């Protein structure tokens, strides 16, 4: 089922929801309208959806903030505008289901901030990453200073902003911008493949990975280990886990193999 709108193209394929940024003439530059449409899409995720794929319509994921619509704001309005972006991207990061970003072409500025809020990023060879805010006289405002250093490090992000450095797709998968690199035009296909796979996981396990794992990773060692124990005990007590373990023991599902 496909639902087209002026700013987003939303499609359901089985248990996967595709959210397509639909401003190809603007290289899918992000304005307030498209950000709020993304918010609405994540606020009303149907119960049957098990994963979301975000992608760009046309040859680019997103060229970032639409500077042609940048308004003059006083400090208070600028703060509220940035917090609006934070609110929406937090919805993605803390979604109840895994979110996968399919990256191609420009993944720049706010587009990179959007990609960073996803849990898995898949890029094709055309993808490239940049933070031109430094040369524009502005600063990131959609969460990049919090999320991107966790992927690539503070100093590499600082270099991008200070010098305008651009990273290509091949470098990006090595450095942490993306976890997967596909053949040409293959990002969306691979993202769908991964989405269909993760949508089959036990919902409580997906919840633990998305919500508990980041907290455990940032906690003190002993606090993190206690959180892990609590989450493990809750997960294994779930009926879905018991059913899956029984199926494995009864050889109804195969063992993990290489490749």
Which sequence positions are flagged as catalytic?
A: 113, 133
**Which of 70, 188, 31 lies closest to 6, judged by CA?**
31
Give CA–CA dist 164/131, Å, rounded.
7
- What's the CA gap between 230 and 19, in Å, rounded? 34
Helix (H) or strand (E) run with residue 246 in it: helix 239-249
In this structure, are residues 117 and 99 in contact, taking their beta carbons and an 8 Å threshold? yes
Tell me the C-alpha distance between 39 and 56, whole Å. Answer: 16
Q: Which residue has the tokens 């849990």?
A: 119
């Amino acid at each position: 089922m496909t639902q087209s709108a002026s700013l987003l193209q939303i499609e359901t394929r089985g248990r996967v929801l595709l959210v397509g940024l639909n401003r190809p003439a603007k290289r899918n530059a992000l304005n307030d309208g498209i950000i709020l449409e993304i918010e609405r899409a994540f606020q009303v995720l149907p119960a049957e959806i098990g994963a979301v794929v975000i992608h760009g319509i046309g040859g680019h994921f997103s060229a970032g903030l639409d500077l042609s619509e940048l308004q003059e704001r006083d400090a208070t309005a600028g703060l509220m505008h940035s917090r609006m972006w934070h609110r929406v991207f937090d919805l993605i990061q803390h979604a109840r289901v895994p979110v996968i970003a399919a990256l191609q072409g420009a993944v720049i500025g706010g587009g990179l901030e959007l990609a960073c809020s996803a849990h898995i990023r898949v890029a094709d060879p055309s993808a490239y990453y940049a933070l031109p805010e430094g040369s524009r006289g502005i600063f990131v405002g959609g969460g990049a200073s919090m999320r991107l250093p966790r992927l690539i490090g503070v100093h590499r992000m600082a270099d991008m902003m200070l010098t305008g450095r651009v990273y290509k797709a091949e470098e990006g998968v090595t450095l942490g911008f993306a976890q997967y690199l596909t053949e040409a035009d293959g990002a969306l296909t691979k993202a769908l493949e991964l989405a269909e796979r993760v949508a089959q996981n036990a919902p409580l396990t997906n919840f633990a990975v998305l919500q508990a794992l980041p907290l455990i990773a940032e906690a003190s060692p002993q606090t993190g280990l206690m959180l892990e124990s609590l989450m493990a005990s809750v997960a294994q007590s779930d009926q879905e886990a018991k059913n899956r373990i029984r199926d494995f023991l009864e050889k109804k599902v195969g063992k993990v193999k290489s490749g």
